[in-house]
Amino acid sequence: MRAESYGARLLTAADRLLYSAVRHGEAQLSRPPSRGVRGFGVPCERARKAIGSEMALYWQVALRGFRRYATYRAATFAGVFTNTIFGFLRAYVMIALYAGRGSIGGFDLRDTLTYTFVTQGMLMVVYIWNWWEIALTIRSGDIVTDFARPLNYQLYWLAQDVGRATYHAIFRGIPPFVIGAVVFSLRLPAHPWTWLFFLLSMYLAVAVSFAFRFMLNLSAFWLFDYRGIGSIAAAVWTFLSGFAVPIALFPGTLQTVARALPFAAFVNTPVEIFLEKQQGWALLGALAYQLGWALALLAAGRLALSAAERKVVVQGG
Amino acid sequence: MAIVEVEDLRKTFSVTRPRTGARGPLALLLRERREVRAVDGVSFRIEPGEMVGYIGPNGAGKSTTIKMLTGILVPSGGLVRVAGLEPSRRRVELARRIGIVFGQRTQLWWDLPLCDSFDLLRYIYKVPAERFRANLAAYVELLELGPLLDTPVRQLSLGQRMRGDLTAALLHDPEVLYLDEPTIGLDVVVKERIRSFLAQLNRERGVTVLLTTHDMDDIERLCSRMIVIDHGRLIYDGSLEAMKDRFGGERVLVIDLEEAAPPVEVPGTRVVKVDGPRQWLRFRRADTTAAEVVAAVAARARLRDLTIEEPEIEDIVRRIYSGAAAPIDTH
């Protein structure tokens, strides 16, 4: 019963009108209009329309990415619970670490605790571990249904992932942070603009992490056991993204290297922006660093995809 | 002009496996590459509006062919054209003009209500709103999907899901529809509903259909023409009737006599089995007619009852696959 009303609730008014018309319609199989009559109009106008309809498509895909996860409320609740518990665990380790010290690497205890809870909130937004949705379709062969469609496969999944990340930001990100903020009196941004930059940086983090996850998933085309490199990647990301320990706390050379590698763009950059550690040009630089890696890695993913399409061995049937 | 043209089509996969006899820790490194010819020189043409059955045993190369016809797989050799386009080079363009249903897979969004998947297709295929509405109305009614539109796909039964997948493949008015085992795992009632729907679709819309199946009733009910492949090679292309004549032209007359008797001798027939008063007489369409045989039997013995067994197309196909089906002239 709940499931039935669920779909109806999500439909827009226009959709509902359309479907009610459908339900009372009469079944007639009229022949499709003949092809080739489309394509009137000024080329420029046509191009604008084409771009508009592409945007509409990926917007619709993103919406569905959001809704897919919204279906599983119990999982969301369990996830929030776990993320919060681990947030407390990490927080108490940090409190013990800071006993008797004022600040480490420019981070005082309050910064570090805030860092801890923002990262706990971002954990699912950038989906740092074990995202295998594409690999599973490669393994089962179901990927053929997506390949058989007239769309950009990478953009299609990116749009879905942006929808998913938005859901996770709201329902998996905010609750642990709010609980942490109440218990540990975390630091909130002083400038209202910081929220906006943080949001921007968070979506760039999603793009970078997606670009990585996309390639990692595509490895299933070549590797029968893709989870092996997946666990290596998870270990590298956990450390070099600054999830486990803020990159500001890394020793000299390692810190320089970590800041140049793309992994810090997943977690460390948005959190530093949230803590207002990056200001002015440094802030723009941090966003440019994320954007640069996002574009480069998406381009690499695109190459990987066309290589995969050329060699594709669709498994099973 | 043919809407599907396939000429000398080939697809070779190279498969690596441990070298035979290699053992021990180095066995993994000692791999040998082996070529598997999934499709090996297949040619056929399909005219617009035809409904063709594409059959063959598991692993014969049916799905591989369909994947090449959609452009998902790049052929290793030969030529493919669908609606005038070369699929692997113009996959996206072609995708707007064809529809596909893979019986064992779904293209619907598993977690979301059925209507959500349909609605997205409007954007993917850029179907004009009017046209989309009309199509959806028609398919929803014909396939009785109305009450299911708000149900998440994961809660649908296999038959309901299949009807949903068929609708999803048709909303953008494809010119060619590929159906890869569309009735697999379905009960008789659902199978029949899907068959009559496909027949109507083909009749009223003129959609060209290429259908792979293991269910011979699908073929018998829907396809005037069938293409049989095995080991990647084409072994038959023609009408169902012609195939029966060529590979299975033998019918069997089962007679029940008043009492047990020695085998009845009728010219052009052969008694293949005797069981008390019941006898089985095999004869060929080409040699004699059922009426002649019945008359001849009645003249020689006292008949109580009789039935004629037509060759089962499954048997014919089974015999073709096993290589046992020699055309009748070699009997």
pLDDT per residue as tens digits for the range A270-311: 999 999 999 899 999 999 999 999 999 999 999 999 888 876
* pLDDT of A37 strictly over 90: no
Residue A6, pLDDT score: 41
Residue A112 lies in a domain: yes
Out of A11-20, A131-140, A210-219, B298-307, give the one with best mean pLDDT.
A210-219
Among A145, A152, A156, A221, most B C-beta atoms within 10 A, so best to mutate, is A145
The SS3 assignment for B284 reads strand
Question: Which residues make Cβ contacts (< 8 Å) with residue B307, sequence separation at least 6?
Answer: B253, B254
Comparing A10-24, A108-122, A230-244, B84-98, the range with the smallest average pLDDT is A10-24
The SS3 assignment for B301 reads coil
* pLDDT of B326 strictly over 70: no
Residue A231 lies in a domain: yes
B75 and B139 assigned to the same domain: yes
Closest residue to B73, CB basis, from A3, A11, A312: A312
Residue B173 lies in a domain: yes
Range of the domain at A297: 46-311
- A–B: how many Cβ contacts below 8 A? 141
Distances (CA, A) of A136 to A208, A217, B146, B252: 21, 8, 31, 51
Alpha-carbon gap, residue A49 to A47, rounded angstroms: 5
Alpha helices in chain B (DSSP H): 62-70, 91-95, 114-124, 129-142, 158-170, 188-205, 216-222, 240-248, 290-300, 313-321
Q: What tokens appear for B328 in the block?
A: 């009748």
Question: Which residues make Cβ contacts (< 8 Å) with residue A191, sequence separation at least 6?
Answer: A276
Residue B286, pLDDT score: 77
CA dihedral B260→B265→B270→B274, nearest 10 degrees, is 10
* pLDDT of B29 strictly over 70: no
Chain A nearest-CA residue for B143: A27
Residue B313, pLDDT score: 72
Residue A39 lies in a domain: no
Alpha-carbon gap, residue B153 to A11, rounded angstroms: 16
For residue A27, the chain B residues in CB contact (below 8 A) are 137-139, 141-142
For residue A196, which of A266, A287, A122, A263 has the smallest C-alpha distance? A287
Residue A7 lies in a domain: no
Residue A305, pLDDT score: 94
* pLDDT of A24 strictly over 60: no
B41 and B101 assigned to the same domain: yes
Quick: pLDDT tens for B70-122: 988 889 899 999 999 999 889 999 999 999 999 888 999 999 999 999 999 99
Closest residue to A29, CB basis, from B13, B73, B205: B205
Are B171 and B118 spatial neighbours (Cβ–Cβ below 8 Å)?
Answer: yes
b/e burial code for range B53-85 (CB count within 10 A of at least 16 → b): bbbbbeebbbbbbbbbbbbbbbbbebebbbbeb
Residue B260 lies in a domain: yes
Q: What is the pLDDT confidence band of residue B27, given thresholds at 50, 70 and 90?
A: low
CA distance A11 to chain B (A): 8
Residue A63 lies in a domain: yes
* pLDDT of A210 strictly over 90: yes
Comparing A19-23, B48-52, B139-143, B204-208, the range with the smallest average pLDDT is A19-23
Alpha-carbon gap, residue B231 to B40, rounded angstroms: 8
Instruction: Quote the number of domains for chain B.
Output: 2
CA distance A202 to chain B (A): 26
* pLDDT of A70 strictly over 70: yes
Instruction: Quote the number of domains for chain A.
Output: 1
B178 and B293 assigned to the same domain: no
Are A171 and A253 spatial neighbours (Cβ–Cβ below 8 Å)?
Answer: no
Range of the domain at B262: 250-310
B265 and B126 assigned to the same domain: no
Are A154 and A302 spatial neighbours (Cβ–Cβ below 8 Å)?
Answer: yes
Residue A207 lies in a domain: yes
| In chain B, residues 102-141 whose CB comes closer than 8 Å to chain A | 102, 104-107, 109, 111-116, 119-120, 123-126, 129, 131, 133-134, 136-141
* pLDDT of B311 strictly over 50: yes
Alpha-carbon gap, residue B273 to A166, rounded angstroms: 74
Cβ of B173 within 8 Å of Cβ of A32? The answer is: yes
Alpha-carbon gap, residue B215 to A61, rounded angstroms: 36
Q: What is the pLDDT confidence band of residue B249, given thresholds at 50, 70 and 90?
A: low
B289 and B142 assigned to the same domain: no
Residue B98, pLDDT score: 95
For residue A30, the chain B residues in CB contact (below 8 A) are 134, 138
Q: What is the pLDDT confidence band of residue B58, given thresholds at 50, 70 and 90?
A: confident
Mean pLDDT, residues A200-221: 96
Residue B330 lies in a domain: no
Q: Residue A186 — φ and ψ, nearest 5°?
A: -75, 170
H/E stretch holding B236? strand B233-239
Residue A314, pLDDT score: 47
Q: What is the pLDDT confidence band of residue A317, given thresholds at 50, 70 and 90?
A: very low
B290 and B145 assigned to the same domain: no
ipTM: 0.82
Q: What is the mean pLDDT of chain B?
A: 87
Cβ burial, residue A265 (10 Å; 0-12/13-18/19+)? buried
Residue A28, pLDDT score: 57
Comparing A210-214, A258-262, B10-14, the range with the smallest average pLDDT is B10-14
The SS3 assignment for B68 reads helix
Residue A15, pLDDT score: 55
Residue B318 lies in a domain: no
Residue A31 lies in a domain: no
Residue A308, pLDDT score: 87
Alpha-carbon gap, residue A201 to A171, rounded angstroms: 19
Closest residue to B96, CB basis, from A30, A146, A150: A150
* pLDDT of B322 strictly over 90: no
| In chain B, residues 258-277 whose CB comes closer than 8 Å to chain A | none
Alpha-carbon gap, residue B44 to B30, rounded angstroms: 41
B231 and B302 assigned to the same domain: no
Q: Across the strands, what pairs with B11?
A: B39
CA distance B220 to chain A (A): 24
Chain A nearest-CA residue for B65: A317
B151 and B210 assigned to the same domain: yes
B69 and B49 assigned to the same domain: yes
Are B151 and A3 spatial neighbours (Cβ–Cβ below 8 Å)?
Answer: yes
Cβ of A27 within 8 Å of Cβ of B142? The answer is: yes
B240 and B287 assigned to the same domain: no
The SS3 assignment for B151 reads coil
Residue B316 lies in a domain: no
Q: What is the pLDDT confidence band of residue B301, given thresholds at 50, 70 and 90?
A: confident
Among B16, B68, B150, B208, most A C-beta atoms within 10 A, so best to mutate, is B150
Cβ of A26 within 8 Å of Cβ of B141? The answer is: yes
B87 and B177 assigned to the same domain: yes
Q: Which residue reads 């599983």 in tokens?
A: A72
Comparing A17-26, A170-179, B262-271, the range with the smallest average pLDDT is A17-26
Q: What is the CATH number of the domain that holds B57?
A: 3.40.50.300
Residue A1 lies in a domain: no
Residue A316, pLDDT score: 42
Quick: pLDDT tens for B178-224: 999 999 889 999 999 999 999 999 999 999 999 998 888 888 889 98
- The string of DSSP codes covering A64-102 is HHHHHHHT-HHHHHHHHHHHHHHHHHHHHHHHHHHTT-S
Q: What is the mean pLDDT of chain A?
A: 87
Mean pLDDT, residues A15-44: 56
Q: What percent of chain A has pLDDT over 70?
A: 84
